[in-house]
Amino acid sequence: MLEESSEPGWLSEEVKTGTTIIAIEFDGGVVLGSDSRVSAGETVVNRVMNKLSLLHDKIYCALSGSAADAQTIAEMVNYQLDVHSIEVGEDPQVRSAATLVKNISYKYKEELSAHLIVAGWDKRGGGQVYVTLNGLLSRQSFAVGGSGSAYVYGFVDAEYRKAMSKEDCQQFVVNTLSLAMSRDGSSGGVAYLVTIDEKGAEEKCILGNELPTFYDQ
């Protein structure tokens, strides 16, 4: 006779997570953005987590998936890029950082649940955005990810234009995050932005009550 487990069913269920992340290229740099809500199922476990993680001076990544897994990948890449830059005597390329993320994600694809968007500036390629998922590495003009992305694909497809200015890209990111956070229950809190160009990285936090609102809000 089989014994029935005394553990509640929720212990064996997969924990659902959610977020909204975005990155976009402009002439001379990139803009990254994310919400700040960390959720586990229907529970909000952190309201103000910064999901834009520094990989090097002018390279950041936007985190989605399991917060612990994504942070672990970012810390591993940050360490390897620091060592690499010391060895070669110059700042690493954005593509090198994205390749490291891709390799780690693919190597541990059975153990880790994370999706990172890597973006930054280097003297060879200028502003660059890369999406990484398992063994995939692809450069994109802009990229969105996380559970909130499903609510804003129509918006970004309609509003994106080539050769947007830095200010236009910043507003594009803020508007996208605001819409996703208003629709997706797993996204919310404040909006974090990082603008990266030849001069360096500029971080900004926009409070929830300062985000733009739209007609049906």
19 is catalytic: yes
Radius of gyration from C-alpha coordinates of the chain: 18
The DSSP letter of residue 134 is T
Closest listed residue to residue 143, CA positions, set 53, 37, 25, 26: 25
Question: What's the rounded Cα separation, in Å, for the pair 95 and 110?
Answer: 24
Residue 36 token pair:
């700040």
> What is the arrangement of strands in the sheet containing 59-65, beginning at the earlier edge strand?
52-56, 59-65, 114-122, 126-133, 136-139
- Contacts of 151 by beta carbon, 8 Å cutoff, 6+ apart: 179, 180, 183, 184
SS3 213: coil
* Annotated catalytic residue, options 17, 19, 176, 195: 19
Distance of CA 150 to the CA centre of its chain: 15
Please give the sequence-ordered ranges of beta strands (E in DSSP) within the chain, or none if there are none. Answer: 21-26, 29-34, 38-40, 43-46, 52-56, 59-65, 114-122, 126-133, 136-139, 142-145, 191-197, 200-206
Q: Hey, which residues are catalytic here?
A: 19
